[in-house]
Every structure is written in structure tokens, then in C-alpha cells.
């Protein structure tokens, strides 16, 4: 539904509107006055207006109480309702049309202790390689062209699906936009149990081992609360809020190692800065270490040393500017068991001058969170949402370019025995670092870069080559230069290109700009094959040796799901495909950052069997 259709026009011949029509007309006026400037291309991370008709009205309303609270602060309750109803064409408070989740009958519900977990966590391995062994994959390269849909699951009343599934005990575990956590039977898709968290689950779950027949599932929510539940029943074991700032959130998946849960903490404060009355900014990215059995806080390690304080600067409204701030940790930390270290990527600074640990790879001691070394990919990068609006007085002097390390570094060992960290950045550069010292080994540019990358959420490696996706998404002409979206294979020791397969633009005009060929989601590799999905909703399998596309499916379609609902596919973003026990599992749909909405989990197997 384009802007012209949304706004419409009134003529002298038209009759006075009814009360119901007046609400719609009021919504149109409110949209023009409060929203159009940002949601018709004015703000690069704002969802484009063409995508709003795919969203439930209640989620638009929820956003105005959450991530868009500052922007909606001047709207009263009735105005917010009118705006949400206008944008979606739905009535706020209307009964959900979602079909209740299908619960398992007794035969499908028991946890299978003979079916071990098939991934350590989001990164598949502790080193975040996103490589699945042949034994765990249960597939060989020759099987891939025969993959067909086995079953689909609908996330109720959702517009995005970004909690990467994890497979363990014959179940598929994942979170959701409305905070529901699911344990679905791997073969049928029925729910063994569900658990209701307090807020959206953006990260993947982490499942413990079950040598004692009592595995635990760990996850974090949008409000920075960490949960531990019994993986066999969903019973709550403990919870803990790990935020040390009111705008803290959890995006990256927790990492479990040796009885300690390491949780990355990011924030929403980059958006808060758009409010001229907000004292920007005071959040510092951090990692917290929790006792996995009790949730007790063991330590917190900030990636920015020093405490934020007021500066002598104010914005146009006279509101004080603080410093230092920013460097959120968006990704799941990488474990170096040999050295007793964690490695993580950080984002941009929020205020000037940019700190030297923003846009960096940071090595942290696992015992106490102290920083051992850091490598900065882009110096002088300070940015926040104020840089995209008319009143830019809270925008840092640097004004970007917002080149985070959104993807976690990958730890590999070369044939010569050197431990190497491979780090992809939104700038379009891939960096190879010495794991011991952080010294640069090589640096390779694979893309133009931008707000969604370059490399955005992740890469994959089989230990010999690196598979790096490039988005190079054109945010309304902001980034100038040749765009090269697609998948690269790079030599891990030299950075030389083995092959590059471009992602062709096959998006229909009526779905642009939400539809885009860029590859932003993390890929996943297995012997001989790499799987990667795009903003266009197309999931592809590439020959790992040549880059040839050997299988693909466009997930942007309607699906009849196992829970009896109709689900819709959309952009594939953030989390990547999962390969386990002969199945390929992927989320489709991502109404955020201007991408295509969707609400489906798809499970493929050989011939759909």
C-alpha cells in the first residue's frame, strides 16, 4: 500500500465523513504531521510506509509506547489509536485472528535424551564459525537440490521472526516478537510447551548439555531481562534483569561456557537521541557474566572505560550532552577457551568525540571482564538518530558513518597454526586479526558499506575459507558508488577472493524499497554447501567450492501452517539458517529497518519427508 493510496484526497462532492471515517481522516492528518518525513525515505532506518499495511495495529500502537516513545510523546491516546488504525487498516483492540498454537499429543511431547543439541548457540560453535559438521547436519551436498517444505509454523500476530532456532532433544526452540518462547516437535511442528516472557525475544536460545538429564534453555528479552527455563518442560528456573541503563536491551544471544552465561548488552539509546529533551547519552556497551545455575551476577565488563558525565555542550533545546557513550554489543561473544577470553564486536559511539573502542573488536578476560586489547575498524564514528531529523543539534559532530561490528568475530586456526579472528563490518571491510595480540593480518573490502552493511549480522567459515555476505543496500540514495550485494568466499590466511556470486535484483517494483537483493542475515555452512538468505526473501544454497547456486526458494508467499493459521514470508534478516538432523530451518519476515514483514518458521527436508 503506497503513500499515494494511504493519503488519498477529499473533493467538494464528497459527503461529510461518518464518525468511523473521521477517525481514518484524522489518522491521515496525524501521519502527515508526525510520521511522513521519516517513513517516506527521510530516515534510513525507519520502516517505509509501504510496509505498514502488513503490520497488526496493536504493534504500531506498542511501538509508540516503546521504541518510538520519544517521537510519539506529543500524541494523546486517541491520536495514537487513530494513527495505528490509519496505517494498518485495522481496528485497535480487534480480536486476534491468529489460530491458537497446536499443542502436542502425548506421543510427540517427551524430550528425547538420545538426540543431543545440534549447536552450541547462535554461532553454532563456541568460536561462532556457523559451520555444521556432516554428522550434525544429517545432509550431504547431493541432498540439497531435493529439499522441499516439510512444515511451516506461524508466529501469532507478528511482523518479524528473528530469534534463530536451535535444535535439541527432538525439539526446535525459538523466541518470538510477542515474547512467546516455543519448543516445537522437530518432526511435526506441534508445541511441546510454550513460555511467555515479558518482552520480545530477539536473540536465539542457548541450550545446556544434558548429561544429568536436566537441560536448561537460556534467553534474553528486549527489556534486558535474562531467563533460564527447564528445556524439557518450560518451567521457569530463574530470571535476572542485566541492564545497568534504562535503555538497555539484549540483541545478541547469550553464550554458555563452563557454568557461566555471558550476555551481551546493547541499547535503544541511539533512537532516544532524536528527542531534543533527552540528555544524550549515557549508555555504555557491556558484557555480563552470570552463574548459569542461579543467575547471580559474577561481573560486568564495559567496553568503554570511564563514567559518562555532562559536557559543556548543549543541544538546540538547551539539553546537556553527555560523554562518553555508545559502543553497544549487538552480537553473541566468541569464546577462546585456550586463552580464557571473549571476543566481541562493538557499535558506534553516541556522542562526540568517538571513543577508541567504538566500531571495534574487543578481547575481554573471561574471569573478570577486563579489556586485554582492542582493534578499531573505523575511528571517529559517532552517530545517533538525531542525525536523521531536521533538528540535528543532538547529532555528534562526526555524524556517522554508523559502521558497527554487528557480526561477531569468528575464531579459526590456519594451516600454519595461527589463531585468527575474522571480523566483518558494516563498512564493507573484512578484517583478519591475530587472536593473541589483536594485530591486523589483512583487510579486504568486499562492499560499499551502509546502515545494513557491508557485513551486517554474521559470516561463516569451515576453517579454510570465509563465507562473507554483503548487503550494500541503497537506503534511498544515501550511499554513493557501485553496489555489490552477494556472497564472497575468501582465503582466511590472505583475504584473497576465491569466488563472488552477486545477488541479482529480482524484486517486483511494488515491493520496493522493502524488497532488496542485499544479504544481511548471517549465512550457515556445512560440508560442500553454504546457505544464505536475503532482504528479498530468497534463500539460496551455494556450492562452497565454486559459488554456483544449486538450490533456491523464494519465501515471500503465503503458507498453510501446522497450527492451522496462514503465515506470510518476507525478508530474511538478522538470524541465519539452521541445519540439523536432515532439516534446513529458517525464519522469514522482518518488519524493521524498512524490510518486508513476515511471520513464518519454515522447515525443509529431502523431498519434504
Task: Give the CATH number, domain containing residue 37.
Answer: 1.10.760
Q: Indicate if 21 and 138 belong to the same structural domain.
A: no
Least confident of 176-180, 274-278, 287-291: 274-278
Q: Indicate if 604 and 471 belong to the same structural domain.
A: yes
Going by C-alpha positions, the residue among 160, 126, 373, 364 that lies closest to residue 265 is 364
Decide which of 64, 88, 112 is a domain's last residue: 88
Going by C-alpha positions, the residue among 588, 563, 576, 539 that lies closest to residue 148 is 539
Residue 329 lies in a domain: no
**Mean pLDDT, to the nearest integer, of 337-360?**
98
Residue 46 lies in a domain: yes
Quote the number of domains for the chain: 2
Q: Indicate if 144 and 69 belong to the same structural domain.
A: no
Maximum pairwise Cα distance, the chain: 81
Residue 282 lies in a domain: no
Q: Indicate if 23 and 153 belong to the same structural domain.
A: no
CA-to-CA distance for 63 and 80, rounded, in angstroms? Answer: 10
Looking at residue 557, its pLDDT comes to 97
The three grid cell numbers given for residue 272, joined into one nine-digit string: 532516544
Looking at residue 592, its pLDDT comes to 82
Decide which of 37, 68, 88 is a domain's last residue: 88
Least confident of 379-383, 439-443, 509-513: 509-513
β-bridge partners, 343: 334, 363
**Residue 470 pLDDT level (bands cut at 50, 70, 90):** very high
Residue 272 lies in a domain: no
Q: Indicate if 36 and 154 belong to the same structural domain.
A: no
Looking at residue 45, its pLDDT comes to 59
> How confident is the model over 97-131, as pLDDT tens digits?
677 899 998 778 888 888 888 888 899 999 999 99
**Coil vs helix vs strand at 379:** coil
Q: Indicate if 49 and 155 belong to the same structural domain.
A: no
CA-to-CA distance for 90 and 495, rounded, in angstroms? Answer: 51
Residue with cell 536523521: 388
Residue 491 lies in a domain: yes
Torsion of CA 223, 458, 587, 210, to 10 degrees: -70
Looking at residue 476, its pLDDT comes to 60
Residue 307 lies in a domain: no
Looking at residue 164, its pLDDT comes to 97
For 243-273, the DSSP string reads -SSTTEE--SPPEEETTEEEEEEEESHHHHT
CA distances from 167 to 40, 159, 247, 273, 460 (A): 40, 23, 31, 39, 19
Q: 489: domain CATH number? A: 2.40.128.630
Residue 518 lies in a domain: yes
Can you give the pTM of this predicted structure? 0.89
Residue 354 lies in a domain: no
**Residue 15 pLDDT level (bands cut at 50, 70, 90):** very low
Q: Indicate if 436 and 517 belong to the same structural domain.
A: yes
Domain that holds residue 69: 3-88
CA-to-CA distance for 575 and 521, rounded, in angstroms? Answer: 6
Angle, helices 77-88 vs 19-34, to 10°: value is 90
Find all residues with CB under 8 Å of 78, minimum gap 6, and list them.
none
**Mean pLDDT, to the nearest integer, of 526-540?**
98
Q: Given phi > 0 = left and psi -120 to 50 = alpha, else beta, which region is 574?
A: left
Q: Hey, CA dihedral for 371, 521, 256, 465, is it positive or negative?
A: negative
**How far apart are the two ends of the chain, measured CA to CA in Å?**
38
Rank 26-35, 45-54, 323-332, 590-599 by mean pLDDT and report only the highest.
Answer: 323-332
Going by C-alpha positions, the residue among 41, 27, 51 that lies closest to residue 159 is 51
Going by C-alpha positions, the residue among 192, 150, 194, 195 that lies closest to residue 171 is 192
Q: Indicate if 20 and 68 belong to the same structural domain.
A: yes
Q: Indicate if 456 and 542 belong to the same structural domain.
A: yes
The three grid cell numbers given for residue 442, joined into one nine-digit string: 589483512
Going by C-alpha positions, the residue among 462, 459, 455 that lies closest to residue 404 is 455
Decide which of 34, 67, 88 is a domain's last residue: 88
Q: Indicate if 74 and 135 belong to the same structural domain.
A: no
Looking at residue 3, its pLDDT comes to 28
Residue with cell 543532538: 394
CA-to-CA distance for 49 and 58, rounded, in angstroms? Answer: 16
Residue 44 predicted with pLDDT over 60 = no
Task: Report the b/e string of 568-606 with b at 16+ CB within 10 A.
Answer: bbbbbbbbbbbbbbbbbbbbbbbbbbbbbbbbbbbbbbb
**Coil vs helix vs strand at 372:** strand
Looking at residue 17, its pLDDT comes to 36
Q: Indicate if 81 and 146 belong to the same structural domain.
A: no
Q: Indicate if 7 and 142 belong to the same structural domain.
A: no
Find all residues with CB under 8 Å of 372, minimum gap 6, and list them.
341, 363, 364, 365
**Residue 593 pLDDT level (bands cut at 50, 70, 90):** confident
Amino acid at each position: 500500500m503506497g503513500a499515494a493510496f494511504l493519503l488519498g484526497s477529499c473533493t467538494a462532492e464528497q459527503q461529510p465523513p461518518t464518525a468511523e471515517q473521521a477517525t481514518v481522516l484524522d489518522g491521515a492528518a496525524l501521519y502527515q504531521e508526525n510520521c511522513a518525513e521519516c517513513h517516506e525515505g527521510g530516515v534510513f532506518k525507519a520502516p517505509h510506509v509501504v510496509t505498514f499495511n502488513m503490520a497488526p495495529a496493536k504493534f504500531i500502537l506498542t511501538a509508540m509506547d516503546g521504541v518510538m516513545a520519544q517521537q510519539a510523546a506529543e500524541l494523546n491516546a486517541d491520536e495514537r489509536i487513530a494513527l495505528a488504525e490509519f496505517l494498518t487498516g485495522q481496528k485497535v483492540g480487534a480480536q486476534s485472528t491468529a489460530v491458537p498454537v497446536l499443542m502436542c499429543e502425548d506421543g510427540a511431547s517427551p524430550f528425547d535424551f538420545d538426540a543431543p543439541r545440534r549447536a552450541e548457540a547462535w554461532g553454532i560453535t563456541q568460536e561462532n564459525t556457523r559451520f555444521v559438521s556432516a554428522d550434525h547436519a544429517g545432509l550431504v551436498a547431493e541432498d540439497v537440490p531435493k529439499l522441499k517444505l516439510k512444515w511451516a509454523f506461524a508466529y501469532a500476530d507478528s511482523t518479524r521472526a528473528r530469534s534463530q532456532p536451535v535444535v535439541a532433544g527432538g525439539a526446535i526452540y525459538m523466541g518470538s516478537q510477542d515474547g512467546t518462547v516455543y519448543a516445537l516437535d522437530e518432526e511435526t511442528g506441534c508445541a511441546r510447551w510454550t513460555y511467555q516472557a515479558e518482552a520480545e525475544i530477539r536473540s536465539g536460545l542457548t541450550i545446556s548439555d544434558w548429561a544429568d538429564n536436566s537441560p536448561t534453555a537460556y534467553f534474553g528479552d528486549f527489556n534486558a531481562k535474562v531467563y533460564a527455563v527447564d528445556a524439557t518442560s518450560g518451567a521457569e528456573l530463574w530470571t535476572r534483569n542485566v541492564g545497568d541503563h534504562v535503555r538497555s536491551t539484549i540483541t545478541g544471544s547469550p553464550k554458555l561456557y563452563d557454568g557461566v552465561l555471558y550476555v551481551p548488552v546493547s541499547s535503544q539509546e541511539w533512537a532516544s537521541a532524536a528527542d531534543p529533551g533527552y540528555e544524550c547519552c549515557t549508555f555504555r556497551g557491556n558484557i555480563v557474566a552470570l552463574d548459569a545455575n542461579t543467575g547471580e551476577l559474577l561481573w560486568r565488563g564495559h567496553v568503554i572505560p570511564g563514567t559518562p558525565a555532562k559536557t559543556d555542550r548543549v543541544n538546540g533545546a538547551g539539553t546537556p550532552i553527555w560523554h562518553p557513550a555508545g559502543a553497544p554489543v549487538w552480537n553473541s561473544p566468541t569464546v577462546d577457551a585456550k586463552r580464557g577470553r571473549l571476543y566481541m564486536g562493538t557499535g558506534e559511539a553516541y556522542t562526540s568525540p568517538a571513543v577508541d573502542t567504538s566500531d571495534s573488536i574487543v578481547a575481554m578476560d573471561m574471569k573478570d571482564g577486563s579489556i586485554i586489547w582492542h582493534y578499531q575498524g573505523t575511528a571517529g564514528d559517532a552517530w545517533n538518530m538525531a542525525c536523521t531529523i531536521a533538528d540535528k543539534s543532538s547529532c555528534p559532530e562526526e555524524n556517522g558513518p554508523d559502521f558497527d561490528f554487528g557480526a561477531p568475530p569468528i575464531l579459526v586456526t590456519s594451516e600454519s597454526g595461527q589463531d585468527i579472528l575474522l571480523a566483518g563490518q558494516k563498512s564493507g571491510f573484512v578484517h583478519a586479526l591475530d587472536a593473541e595480540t589483536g594485530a591486523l593480518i589483512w583487510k579486504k573490502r568486499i562492499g560499499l558499506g551502509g546502515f545494513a552493511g557491508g557485513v551486517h549480522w554474521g559470516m561463516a567459515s569451515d576453517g579454510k575459507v570465509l563465507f562473507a555476505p554483503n548487503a550494500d543496500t541503497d537506503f534511498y540514495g544515501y550511499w554513493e558508488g557501485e553496489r555489490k550485494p552477494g556472497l564472497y568466499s575468501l582465503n582466511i590466511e590472505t583475504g584473497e577472493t576465491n569466488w563472488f556470486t552477486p545477488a541479482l535484483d529480482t524484486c517486483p517494483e511494488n515491493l520496493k524499497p522493502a524488497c532488496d537483493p542485499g544479504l544481511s542475515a548471517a549465512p550457515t555452512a556445512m560440508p560442500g554447501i553454504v546457505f544464505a538468505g536475503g532482504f528479498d526473501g530468497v534463500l539460496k544454497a551455494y556450492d562452497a567450492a565454486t559459488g554456483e547456486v544449486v538450490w533456491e526458494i523464494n519465501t515471500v508467499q503465503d503458507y498453510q501452517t501446522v497450527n492451522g493459521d496462514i503465515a506470510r514470508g518476507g525478508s530474511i534478516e538478522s538470524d541465519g539458517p539452521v541445519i540439523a538432523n536432515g532439516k534446513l530451518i529458517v525464519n522469514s519476515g522482518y518488519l524493521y529497518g524498512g524490510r518486508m514483514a513476515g511471520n513464518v518458521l519454515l522447515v525443509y527436508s529431502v523431498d519434504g519427508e
